[in-house]
Structure 1
Amino acid sequence: MANFVLIPGGGSGPQYWSLLADELRGRGHGALAVELPYEDEKAGLEEYADAVAQAVGDQRDLVVVAHSFGGFTGPLVCDRVPVELLVFVTGMIPRPGERPGDWWENTGHASALRESHLREGRDPDAQDVYDLFLHDVPRTLADAALADGRDQADTSMNAPWPAPTLPDVPTRALICTDDRYFPADFMRTMVQDRLGSAPDEMPGSHHPMLSHPTELADYLERAYMTSSGSSSDRRRRSGT
Structure 2
Amino acid sequence: MAEFVLVAGAWLGAWAWDAVAPELRAAGHGVHPVTLSGLAERRGVPAGQQTHVRDIVDEIERRDLRDVVLVGHSYSGIPAGQAAERIGDRLRRVVFLDSNVPHDGESFVSVWPPFGERVRAAITANDGFWPPLTAEDYAGQGLTDEQIQRIVADSTPHPGATLTEPATLARPLGELPATYVKCLLDGDEPTPDVAALLKSDRWRLVEMDTGHWPMFSQPSELARILLDAADA
Matching residue of 2:177: 170
Does residue 192 in structure 1 map to residue 195 in structure 2?
yes
TM-score, normalised to structure 1, is 0.76
Name the CA shift for 1:171/1:50 in 2 (closer, same or farther; >3 Å). Answer: same
Judging changes above 3 Å, is the alpha-carbon distance between structure 1 residues 64 and 166 closer, same or farther for their aligned structure 2 residues? Answer: farther
Residue 92 (structure 1) aligns with: 100
Aligned residue type for 1:18:
D
Question: What corresponds to 2:130 in structure 1?
Answer: none
Equivalents in 1 of 2:108, 2:138: separation in Å? 24
Q: Which amino acid counterpart does residue 15 of structure 2 have in structure 1?
A: Q
User: Which amino acid is 1:13 matched to?
Assistant: G
Deviations 1:145-179 (A, max 9, x none): 33221211211122111223345431111101122
Q: Which residue of 1 aligns with 2:29?
A: 29
The aligned residue for residue 220 of structure 1 is 226
Cα distance, 1:98–1:86 mapped onto 2, change above 3 Å: same
Deviation sequence 1:17-71 (CA, Å, 0-9, x none)? 1111111112111211101013557421211121122223212111000000001
Aligned residue pairs total: 204
RMSD: 2.5
Q: In terms of Rg, which structure is larger?
A: 1
64-73 or 78-87, larger mean C-alpha shift:
78-87
Query: Secondary structure in 2 aligned to 1:199?
Result: strand
- SS for the counterpart of 1:33 is strand
Q: Which runs of 5+ in 1 are unaligned?
A: 111-125, 227-240
Give a deviation string over 1:179-236, Cα, whole Å, max 9, x none. Answer: 2xxx123x2534212443573212110011111111111111111112xxxxxxxxxx
- Determine if contact 2:23/2:223 at 8 Å carries over to the other structure: yes
Corresponding position of 2:148: 142
The answer to whether the aligner puts 1:44 opposite 2:54 as a matched pair is no
Secondary structure, aligned partner of 2:157: coil
8 A contact 2:102–2:167 mirrored in 1 = yes
SS at match of 2:20: helix
In structure 2, do the counterparts of structure 1 residues 211 and 3 end up closer, same or farther at CA, with 3 Å as the change threshold? same
Unpaired segments of 5 or more residues in structure 2?
A: 119-133
**How high is the TM-score relative to the length of structure 2?**
0.78
- 1:4 deviates by 0.8
Cα drift, residue 106 of structure 1: 8.2
**What percent identity do the matched residue pairs reach?**
28
Q: Quick check: 1:10–1:68 contact (8 Å CA) kept in 2?
A: yes
Q: 1:221 to 1:146 in 2, by over 3 A?
A: same
Q: Distance in 2 between matches of 1:207 and 1:77?
A: 22
CA distance in 2, matches of 1:191, 1:150: 28
